[in-house]
Structures are given as C-alpha cells and as structure tokens.
C-alpha cells in the first residue's frame, strides 16, 4: 500500500449514537473531512451528526467510507469501493466519486 502523509486525529465511539456527538464536536472545532470506518450504522450516525450541526453547510463536509461492518449494504448499493486506499484518495483529492 502506498504511504501517504495525511495528518489525522482518530477517535472511537464509546456508546450508542456517540458518532453524532463526535462529528458535531469535530465540525465545531473546524474539521471538515472525515473517514467513517465501520458499517451502515456508523455511517448513518455520522451523517446524522453532519446534518444536525449548524456550524457549516453540509456540502462543506467530506466523508470517505472504509466499510468494515458486517453487511455494508449502503456501500454496496452505491457501488463504493471497500479499498481503503480509494477512501484516502477521496480525502486527499477533495473529490466525490461518481456512483454507478
């Protein structure tokens, strides 16, 4: 795997729906790019946090998914790669891949 110099902070959830609060706090502190490392539930709660926050328009937020859940139905439905390198490229390039 190609190594990238990508500064990041990492935080894990500690309880149910914690993702929403974590994302909201990060956005309040200036973060605009996120990796969702998890499954459908984790992604759902992160998106809820983005949509509920009032610090910036949601289209200013970029979220890349590294699916490690059991079903990963959302990423399958939208043909999103499970390759972590592609998720890193989304963040590095500030791009949104076209879903087929």
98 within some domain: no
CA–centroid distance for 85 within its chain: 14
11 within some domain: no
Domain total in the chain: 1
Q: How confident is the model at residue 1 (pLDDT cuts 50, 70, 90)?
A: very low
Q: Are 71 and 39 in contact (CB under 8 A)?
A: yes
Q: CATH number, domain at 25? A: 3.40.50.10330
Q: How far apart are CA 1 and CA 79, in angstroms?
A: 22
Q: Write out pLDDT tens, residues 5-15.
A: 778 889 999 99
pTM of the model: 0.81
4 within some domain: no
Q: Which residues contact 83 (CB under 8 A, 6 or more apart)?
A: none
Q: Show the domain range for 58.
A: 18-93
And the tokens for 61?
């937020």
């Amino acid at each position: 795997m190609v190594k990238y110099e990508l500064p990041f902070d990492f935080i894990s959830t500690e309880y149910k729906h914690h993702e929403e609060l974590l994302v909201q706090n990060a956005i309040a502190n200036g973060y605009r790019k996120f990796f969702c490392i998890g499954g459908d539930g984790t992604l759902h709660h992160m998106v809820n946090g983005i949509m509920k926050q009032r610090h910036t328009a949601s289209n200013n937020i970029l979220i890349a998914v590294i699916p490690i859940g059991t079903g990963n139905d959302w990423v399958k439905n939208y043909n999103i790669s499970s390759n972590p390198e592609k998720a890193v490229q989304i963040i590095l390039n500030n791009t949104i891949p076209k879903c087929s």
